[in-house]
Chain A
């Protein structure tokens, strides 16, 4: 276990290093990406641009720039090139909204995905199964920005049932927090509900064919206990792994579109704004955060997987 953790820690460092280098290089080769020119504005003279370049250290060799930037990421001194705001502070400010969105949506998509998937598998080939398949396909295909915009407009703005956007901190008003998040949760979860129900359906159907299920039936267990105690227990294992990784992606800024549509002002939205302005420091920091979550939850998933299935060992 200790060796596993050490290895994962080392892997995490390497992944973060690679991600940071790639993101940093992209911003250096991107057309129109010269930060000094962008900071100086459209009417700036060449000397003004040069002055900014020297002041911010953009004239230094690229590896020196990289080292300086990375140091600032971890000391919290990193500031945006466009609005001069402290990047780490901004991320921390957006994190509660992003966490709330990700956790809530992940719970919803897991519960609904499993429910629909198991139900479809038990009704395989019948009308209910086909209906769920079509709905799942729709859920997977509908773009979240389109669905989110429709929900926000019709259920929020027009009908006034839900707020059309914005985030309410949990600590200030728990009910308002949930109320504000119902639409974003639904919009974000829908894609995953479709995906998870398909995966679980296949996994349950496969489970039902396993000889140990027949053994369980031959033992005289009720069909419900066969399904819950044996079929589902086995079928959920791949889903749990998938869940951890998808959750990490959403946490690490994968919910950019949902956050933007519902104006949640989370980490994803922060990153989206930065990308629009080719503002390297926030993008770099958010990307690193995302990579961090993915690697971290990847390790957690492996440990959980080994706990659920004794055939798997963490090494």
Chain B
């Protein structure tokens, strides 16, 4: 489903990786591993189309993501280092906006339910800049509950989360894989799967 051929990325003068080849199908968890600075984030951003590889291409369902453009982005959910939420907006406003932009259902009940499930009941109406780091991250991760995108690309989603939130996130990822979705992530956490397969990609060797 997601295929990468002869991918090469540089940052400035430094070669991060080259000749990278892999293909992952539906119902898979792809765990990208590597030391700090080995190019994990750059790889994920390249998979999203935010970064243009110096060489090689990324294909989604057999077509280049450049050519697919918006059709690819419809199938994609990216969660980066930055939470992507506005401190001046409340959790509900943030989530509703994110869902609208993702093309997901964004009615009041769904949004409130999602925030309750992620453990933010009682904090829905507070500007998110008042929340703790972990709570901000939870607000941002609530998008995963609403998402219908088959491809999730998650960059270090577990940092700053407490054990409850980690359990919930593991559950969400396992569900996504079990439902035939594809998850690409970087983490130092193990993610137990209920079904589907997990594979590893090691960078920086």
Whether both chains belong to one complex is answered with no
Residues of B within 8 A of A (CB): none
